[in-house]
Amino acid sequence: MTTIPTTDLAVSAAGLVKTFGDLRAVDGIDLEVRRGEVFGVLGPNGAGKTTTMQMLATLLPIDAGEARIFGVDVRREPHVVRQLLGVTGQYASVDELLTATENLVLFGRLLGLDRARARSTAARLLEQFGLQEAASKPIKQFSGGMRRRLDLAASLITRPPLIFLDEPTTGLDPRTRGQMWETIRELVADGCTVLLTTQYLDEADQLADRIAVVDRGAIVAQGTSDELKASVGRSTLQLTLVEPERLAEAAQVVHRVLGEDAVPTPEARRLNIPLERSDQAVDVLVALRELGVAIDSVTVQKPSLDEVFMALTGHDTQADTQADTQADTQADTQADTQQGTTTDLDDTPADAAADAPMEALR
Amino acid sequence: MSTTTTTPTTPARATLDPSTLPRHVSVADTVTQTMTMAWRATLKMRRNFEQFFDVTIQPLLFTAMFAGIFGGAIAGSVEDYLPLLIPGLIGQTVLTACVATGTQLREDMDKGVFDRFKVLPISRIAPLAGPMVADMIRYAIAATLTFATGIALGYRPGGGVLGVAAAIALAIVAGWSLAWIFTWFGTVGSSAQAVQGYSLMVMFPLTFLSNAFVPVETLPRWLEAFTRVNPVSHIVSALRDLANEGAVTAEVGWALLGCLAVIAIFAPLSVRGFTRKM
């Protein structure tokens, strides 16, 4: 342990591989999560998000590659890693036959709190998570949202510096989901580092400082939400005219100013104009004013993460990827990372994670 | 999930230095964690009372049934059969309770809460050892109820209160030891049903190919040979000596030795099978 340099990385993983029979569920994933950030791993069902998280959490053996939590080797020091982690899975991992209080006391006692401390911590967490009324009810009678909250509360007993949230809001109604997001924000405000997997683009957009897009066991892109959006799409200027008969005339102006073809929607008196940079909108508006074309409304839209995902993977987030494991969009990315990891474990450069995926962005 | 932040009572670990954390679970912590797991098992027993049927209804039913059916045929009368039968039935009931220890472990391992146990910094053995400790309550209930039913039917144990108490204590030790066999099945079986299947295949020969219900002298030679090495035979003989004579005989020694042998073989196997899944 003395040889481990101090690091400001909460998670660093290089070339992680997990195979189940013929399926390479995780196929050379590199990750770097900085202290204090929320890092989102975004991808469809079967992309390898949960498997990656389980390897990092000591729940699954790592087939190839290397992972460290706060500099501690996950394979060599699983007991130390477990003391640094709180894990909340896709399915609530609490005891169905026990009450909420009993569950939290049980985990508190296992984590080394004495009886009194375990009880007071349980009471505090139940209050914090709005579960005190259900404190003495068996979990069997809990709703999905309540279970998930209790599960998260159970992960916070020792206030670990790193929390893994595996699809924390899958299957929750919008209100409960909003509450969950609020709780996650509070955790971060408290100094916690969060690694989050999700298949919801808006969730990653809302919560994550940085996002890795995962598809078919590999990272296809990485960056902030804005970087990802900027990398694939261009903004769109939407203009609604007062007089629909002047749409063609306006389109000509756009072509003259930007050299771009505007797409008219006559029924809506609207013109969609692709922009290289958002400030080009001003040039268009000035030119139209000079011509005396009256404008009803103006909006500039960034591409949504959905569009980003489509552009990166060639399919949307709900697609079942396990059925067709070979996709052309992925083939080259996978091949690159794979060679680095399977041939020589120790040689995989740890810092490749930051740059490589953005390069992979065609 | 209120937005007001209550004053935390546990210090945040955000500034924690990983190199100061222990790399292994201490023995003292392992004991505490095992007892916590045992506490959890007793909570579950209270919630799910059907778990007690095999150690409550079965002793009552089997004692009355076996005494009535076999009493006349084997020993001439019910009263004469009871001193032979009651310790035998205790052996059988405790063994049945052990089967449940294994199947319940398997069921438990399939539950979501086990994922949390796996990721907690706890001894890898505690989730296995805890229920085994708690199940000693079940063996105690089984032994006590069988004695009680027997006494109600006219059994008068010659060993007196002390002899009976010693027999119950031996039954608990034997139950805990033999449970390792079924715990091992629990760690290697693919499902609770599979574990139940293996367990019954082993439990029936262990029970019936022993001196639990009949004198071994009446058996064919090859069967007799097996019953003589069967640890269950020695346990039943020791229970008889303790309850009926109040005597600590060589059989008690053989019984304990048999228990030790079972533990020596199956405890390491179980622990290995279990830690692979933890």
DSSP letter string, A172-220: --HHHHHHHHHHHHHHHHTT-EEEEEES-HHHHHHH-SEEEEEETTEEE
pLDDT value at position A341? 32
Tell me: do A158 and A289 sit in the same domain. Answer: no
Q: Which residues contact B134 (CB under 8 A, 6 or more apart)?
A: B37, B38, B39, B41, B42, B45
Q: Does A191 touch chain B (CB under 8 A)?
A: yes
Of B9, B22, B36, the CB nearest to A110: B36
| B20 shares contact with chain A (CB less than 8 Å) | no
- Based on the fold, state whether residues A242 and A354 are members of the same structural domain: no
Do A254 and A154 lie in one domain? The reply is no
Interface touch B25/A79, C-beta < 8 Å: yes
CATH number of the domain encompassing residue A285: 3.30.70.920
Evaluate whether residue A306 is within a structural domain: no
Say if A108 falls within a structural domain: yes
**Residues A103 and A190 occupy one common structural domain:** yes
Q: Is the domain of A226 the same as that of A245?
A: no
DSSP bridge pairs for A14: A66
What is the domain count for chain A? 2
Cβ burial, residue A310 (10 Å; 0-12/13-18/19+):
middle
Query: Is residue A339, in this structure, part of any structural domain at all?
Result: yes
Per cent of chain A over pLDDT 90 is 38
A59 in contact with chain B, both atoms CB, cutoff 8 A: yes
CATH number at residue A40: 3.40.50.300
Q: What pLDDT shows up at residue A335? A: 35
How close A58 gets to chain B, by Cα (Å)? Answer: 7
Q: Please identify, among A267, A283, A301, the residue that sits at the C-terminal boundary of a domain.
A: A301
Check whether residue A294 and residue A331 sit in a common domain: no
Residues A28 and A155 placed together within one structural domain of the fold: yes
Verify that A192 and A283 share a domain, yes or no: no
The mean per-residue pLDDT over the stretch A26-52 comes to 92
Determine phi and psi for B255, rounding to 5 degrees.
Answer: -60, -50
Pick A127's closest partner by Cβ from B6, B40, B116. B6
Query: Is A355 in the same domain as A261?
Result: no
State ipTM.
0.83
How distant is the Cα of A108 from the closest Cα of chain B, in angstroms? 10
Residues A122 and A198 in one domain: yes
Which residue in B has a C-alpha nearest to residue A96's C-alpha? B113
Q: Domain range holding A32?
A: 9-230+311-359
A181, closest residue in chain B (CA to CA): B1
Helix/strand/coil for A105? helix
Contact B48 A97 (CB under 8 A): yes
Q: What pLDDT is attached to residue A234?
A: 72
Domain final residue, candidates A301, A321, A341: A301
pLDDT exceeds 50 at position A64 = yes
Check CB contact under 8 Å for B10 and A158: yes
Give the mean model confidence (pLDDT) for residues A40-58.
91
A271 within domain boundaries: yes
- Listed residue (A151, A171, A167, A155) closest to A207, CA to CA: A167
Q: What is the pLDDT of residue A6?
A: 56
Measured between beta carbons, the chain B residues lying within 8 angstroms of A190 are 5, 12, 14
Using the 3D structure, point to which of A283, A301, A319 is the last residue of a domain: A301
Location of structure tokens 């401390």 = A117
* Cβ-nearest to B120 among A1, A82, A161: A82
pLDDT value for A352: 35
The structural domains of chain B, with segments of one domain joined by +, span 26-277
Binned at pLDDT 50, 70 and 90, residue A37 comes out as very high
Q: How does pLDDT run along chain B (278 residues), one tens digit per residue? A: 444 444 344 444 445 678 888 889 999 999 999 999 999 999 988 888 787 888 888 888 888 888 888 888 888 888 889 999 999 999 999 999 999 999 999 988 888 888 899 999 999 889 999 999 999 999 999 999 999 999 999 999 999 999 999 999 999 999 999 999 999 999 998 888 999 999 999 999 898 888 888 888 888 888 888 888 899 999 999 999 999 999 999 999 999 999 999 999 999 999 898 888 87
Q: Determine the residue among B36, B44, B48 to mutate to test chain A binding: the one whose Cβ has the most chain A Cβ atoms within 10 Å.
A: B36
Interface residue B27 vs chain A (CB under 8 A): no
**Closest C-alpha among B165, B173, B170, B104 to residue B136:** B173
Q: Is A58 an interface residue toward B (CB < 8 Å)?
A: yes
Are residues A350 and A217 both part of a single domain? yes
Interface test with B, best of A93, A103, A133 (most B CBs within 10 A): A93
* A185 & A218 share domain: yes
**Cβ of residue B28 closer than 8 Å to a chain A Cβ:** no
Give me the residue from A59, A138, A179 closest to B119, CB to CB: A59
Average pLDDT of the segment spanning A126-138:
89
